[in-house]
Structure 1
Amino acid sequence: MAVLLALVSALSYGVSDFVAGLASRRTSAWPVAFTACAGALLGAVALALGFPGDPAPGDLAWGALAGVGGGMGSAFLYRGLALGRMGVVAPISAVGSAVLPVMVGVASGERPSPLVWVGIIAAAPAIWLVSREPAESTASSVGVLDGVLAGIGFGVLFSATGQVGDQAGYWPLALTQLVSMGFIVALSTALRQAWVPYAASQWWGAAAGLLASLAVVAFLLSSHRGLLAVAAVLTSLYPAATVLLAVVVLRERVHRTQGLGLLLCGLAVVLVAAG
């Protein structure tokens, strides 16, 4: 069940990034990121009202820290997508979001089996290959920086979310989205970028945010039922969903490296599930 939930999280993130990426490329990343957080907040509040739970102060603190990571990850990922640097931002952010929670999980006492470790190791190049796009020139430093910052942000999001207790309900996740929204407003203001939505297409970010909210819930449930390291690695396979969706909807061609990455993604899932 933990593996299935993590895969649901990866699929939700992949579709969310596809929707938000299209909206960001057509307009601006910052309003899309803001509306995405707004949509995620609505989804989280609805869940919290239906399943209130009993969050401790520590759970809320972890939720707030996750919000900082989520806001940071979304902002820089969307900025990278808006600039057309998918081949740089996606692989770096996905690998970064997987590595940090693995380190946190191992440091906190988790001990994945050898088979799971093989799957985790296979996931890193799988994420990279799936997200690769042929390019005429070397990736710029802006794309590299976006990927690094997004990866750190999502790594913090996953690591902190994994610390929320299973009795806490969903109010910590609602706080996560609220903090993410505030972080994006503060960051965009500091960078002198407009964050207030001004085009109808930017509200597609709200749909992406609802999907992201589902992804966070699935990840939280997965980390409660299994290892944080496993949940984070499987969730970080989300670029595979983005690529497949681009093939089906936009009729983009899967290149050889992406095809190899998809095969490695399947292998990683099988190994982690078997372990």
Structure 2
Amino acid sequence: WASQVVGLAAVAAVAPLFSADFAADATLLWGAGAGAAGSLGLVIFYHALATTRISVAAPVAAVVGMALPVWFGVIVGERPAPIAWVGMVLAIPAVVSLSASNRDSGPVGRAAWLGAIAGGAFALFGILISRTGTDSGMWPLVAARFASVLTLAAGALAWGRPLVAARVHWPLITVAALLDISGNVLFLLAVRRELLSLVAVIMSLYPAATLALARIFFGERLGGRQWLGLMLAAGAVMLIALG
């Protein structure tokens, strides 16, 4: 919750730089819906990772979060180039390889359902935020983050969780929040310039960056499946870019 508040303050501060005029009500509603969906998706995803099989929940969430925006994009008339389609198909085994883990056990069914619900919520965030007006600047993200703050606050109060983090955690919370909202800004700018279906596929390959950073900063060893995922992800991005 605290990181969402920091992100809200940050995007509200820069929103007037992108558009001095406040966005229309419809655009703000799209943004608020996206924020509520995204925050619920995060809660469900983290719950799935903590209580079920990571090797099932994470890949299912990634694939669903990628597939639904592609499906929606095709419905509304997006037509990626054939070579981009090849890259999008290649991204499916890439995200599965990057997200999978062999260090857990447990029933598959619940992990798959929670992963699918979380992935659907992430997809809904992307779909709704892509419907906002191109002349609305960053105001849709202000609405999204405001809705996220309210949603997570309601959940924390309902489950008796504290809203305010300890002071020692605030530096990391602030850094994480600024990186998170920066990613949201870049995503919004991307879907205003390119097809949602292509942007969503590239976004779904985020585990590649996580693995690379873990390797660089923490010296974590990558398994064969993860190296395969990295190579497939690189190929997918290259083909999509060529398309």
Amino acid at match of 2:179: L
Amino acid at match of 1:253: R
Question: How many Å apart are 1:187 and its aligned residue?
Answer: 2.7
Higher Rg: 2
What number of residue pairs does the alignment pair up? Answer: 241
1:53–1:168 Cα contact (<8 Å) kept: no
1:22 matched residue in structure 2 = none
Normalising by structure 1, we get a TM-score of: 0.80
1:18 matched residue in structure 2 = none
| 1:160 aligns with one of 128, 140, 145 | 128
1:35–1:202 Cα contact (<8 Å) kept: no
1:57 matched residue in structure 2 = 25
Change (3 A) 1:44 1:185: same
| 2:15 aligns with one of 42, 48, 67 | 48
1:125 matched residue in structure 2 = 93
Question: How many Å apart are 1:123 and its aligned residue?
Answer: 0.9
1:90–1:239 Cα contact (<8 Å) kept: no
1:100 matched residue in structure 2 = 68
Question: How many Å apart are 1:166 and its aligned residue?
Answer: 1.5
Question: How many Å apart are 1:43 and its aligned residue?
Answer: 2.1
1:108-187 counterparts in 2 under 5 A?
Answer: 108-135=76-103, 137-138=105-106, 141=109, 143-187=111-155
1:205 matched residue in structure 2 = 173
Question: How many Å apart are 1:138 and its aligned residue?
Answer: 4.2
1:168-247 counterparts in 2 under 5 A?
Answer: 168-190=136-158, 192-200=159-167, 202-203=169-170, 204-247=172-215
2:34 matched residue in structure 1 = 66
1:79 matched to 2:60: no
Question: How many Å apart are 1:195 and its aligned residue?
Answer: 4.0
Provide the rounded CA distance (Å) in 2 between the counterparts of 1:193 and 1:100: 34
Deviations 1:227-252 (A, max 9, x none): 01001111111111111122222222
Amino acid at match of 2:28: L
Question: How many Å apart are 1:201 and its aligned residue?
Answer: 5.5
Give ranges in structure 1 of 5+ residues lacking alignment: 1-33
2:65–2:122 Cα contact (<8 Å) kept: yes
Change (3 A) 1:53 1:79: farther
Amino acid at match of 1:185: A
| 2:220 aligns with one of 244, 252, 272 | 252
Q: Percentage identity across aligned positions?
A: 37
2:229 matched residue in structure 1 = 261
Normalising by structure 2, we get a TM-score of: 0.90
Partner SS state of residue 116, structure 1 = helix
Change (3 A) 1:177 1:199: same
Provide the rounded CA distance (Å) in 1 between the counterparts of 2:151 and 2:196: 25
Deviations 1:201-228 (A, max 9, x none): 5433332222111111111111111101
Partner SS state of residue 165, structure 1 = coil
Change (3 A) 1:143 1:37: farther
Question: How many Å apart are 1:57 and its aligned residue?
Answer: 1.9
Provide the rounded CA distance (Å) in 1 between the counterparts of 2:118 and 2:72: 18
Partner SS state of residue 137, structure 2 = coil
